[in-house]
């Protein structure tokens, strides 16, 4: 049993760490609520958010980020469930080699793919389109997602598939009615991670869709907006940063219980 002093010390360390982690975010929020120079507002105000929303065009860029993020999450999750089931449950000759080939994507630096991707999408006419960001994001997310689901399915008892097979179920039916429902928590946790990663992607967007405002994502729009306004109204830039980060914060807030339970469940298994 832990002593009272150990419990108090542990809580103090956690509180201190939380304060350090929250300080930048709270500072940005406070700056965003502070009236800009020349404003007639007194005390905290939402004028900076209104100015950032109207002048930065974030309504369209947030929609673009949502389109890209949800497309990447959906396709990656479906592909990962299928690939994870094949690699962990089905037995075929080149299974280890295929798995090792997929895992190369975990160690391949994203910077090494920029020039080949640019040349490919330039030759196919897909630069400055949604596809220029969706397809690379799916490709970069799939190795981790496959490893995640394969590891989860591998921990499930083999007797589940054997019993269903004896009852006449095919492989697709076993996946659909047994493994997919059991792996729902892992899929949701994985989807949260991919959503956060995709939403915050900046470098690919900067290189592959810099010239089409209609498809630019929120982080890229924020960068351009901050570059234009950095010497005049830092309060408006702070408000724009809050607007871009808000969907991610809200998503984590509503899904944090499922997210943490999925991580803990994977750790226990």
- Give tens-digit pLDDT for 108-153: 777 788 889 999 999 999 999 999 999 999 998 999 899 889 888 8
Residue 123: inside a domain, yes or no?
A: yes
Mean pLDDT of 39-43: 73
Residue 108: inside a domain, yes or no?
A: yes
Return the structure tokens found at 187: 């899929």
Residue 60: inside a domain, yes or no?
A: yes
> How many residues are recorded in the chain?
269
Q: What does the pLDDT read at residue 266? A: 47
pTM of the model: 0.84
Count of structural domains within the chain: 1
Return the structure tokens found at 1: 């049993």
Q: Are 106 and 141 in contact (CB under 8 A)?
A: no
Q: Residue 267's pLDDT band (boundaries 50, 70, 90)?
A: very low
Mean pLDDT of 24-49: 82
Residue 24: inside a domain, yes or no?
A: no
| pLDDT(262) > 70 | no
d(CA 86, CA 213): 41
Cα separations in angstroms, 186 against 7, 158, 181, 243: 31, 18, 10, 29
CATH number at residue 135: 1.10.3720.10
Residue 254: inside a domain, yes or no?
A: yes
Which residues constitute the domain of residue 120? 34-268
Q: Residue 194's pLDDT band (boundaries 50, 70, 90)?
A: very high
Q: What does the pLDDT read at residue 247? A: 84
pLDDT tens, position by position, 161-180: 778 887 777 888 888 888 88
Return the structure tokens found at 216: 């630019």
* Portion of the chain with pLDDT greater than 70, in percent: 91
Residue 6: inside a domain, yes or no?
A: no
Q: Are 138 and 75 in contact (CB under 8 A)?
A: yes
Residue 10: inside a domain, yes or no?
A: no
Question: What sections of the chain are H helices per DSSP?
Answer: 4-33, 47-56, 58-88, 95-107, 114-124, 131-154, 158-166, 171-174, 180-182, 184-199, 203-208, 218-229, 234-268
Highest-pLDDT range among 2-11, 90-99, 154-163: 154-163
| pLDDT(82) > 70 | yes
With left for phi above 0 and alpha for psi between -120 and 50, is residue 153 left, alpha or beta? alpha
How many Cα atoms are found within 13 Å in the side-chain-facing hemisphere of 159?
1
Q: Any long-range contacts for 74-80 (C-beta under 8 Å, 24+ apart)?
A: 75/134, 75/138, 76/138, 76/141, 76/142, 76/145, 76/194, 77/145, 77/187, 77/190, 77/191, 77/194, 79/138, 79/142, 79/145, 79/146, 80/142, 80/145, 80/146, 80/148, 80/149, 80/187, 80/190
Residue 196: inside a domain, yes or no?
A: yes
* Portion of the chain with pLDDT greater than 90, in percent: 21
């Amino acid at each position: 049993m832990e002593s009272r002093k150990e419990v108090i010390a542990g809580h103090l360390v956690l509180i201190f760490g939380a304060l350090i982690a929250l300080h930048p975010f709270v500072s940005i929020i406070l700056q965003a609520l502070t009236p800009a120079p020349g404003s007639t507002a007194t005390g905290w105000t939402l004028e900076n958010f209104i100015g950032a929303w109207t002048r930065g065009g974030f309504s369209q860029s947030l929609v673009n980020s949502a389109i890209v993020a949800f497309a990447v999450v959906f396709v990656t999750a479906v592909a990962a469930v299928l690939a994870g089931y094949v690699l962990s449950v089905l037995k075929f000759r080149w299974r280890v080699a295929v798995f090792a080939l997929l895992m190369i994507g975990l160690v391949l630096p994203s910077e090494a793919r920029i020039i080949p991707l640019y040349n490919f999408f330039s030759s196919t006419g897909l630069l400055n389109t949604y596809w220029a960001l969706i397809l690379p994001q799916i490709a970069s997310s799939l190795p981790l997602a496959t490893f995640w689901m394969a590891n989860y399915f591998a921990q499930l008892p083999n007797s589940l598939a054997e019993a269903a097979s004896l009852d006449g179920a095919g492989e697709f039916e076993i996946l659909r009615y047994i493994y997919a429902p059991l792996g729902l928590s892992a899929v949701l946790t994985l989807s949260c991670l991919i959503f956060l990663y995709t939403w915050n992607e900046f470098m690919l967007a900067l290189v592959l869709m810099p010239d089409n405002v209609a498809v630019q994502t929120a982080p890229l729009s924020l960068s351009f907006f901050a570059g234009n306004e950095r010497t005049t109204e830092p309060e408006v830039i702070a408000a724009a940063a809050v607007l871009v980060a808000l969907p991610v914060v809200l998503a984590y807030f509503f899904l944090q219980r499922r997210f943490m339970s999925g991580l803990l469940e994977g750790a226990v298994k």
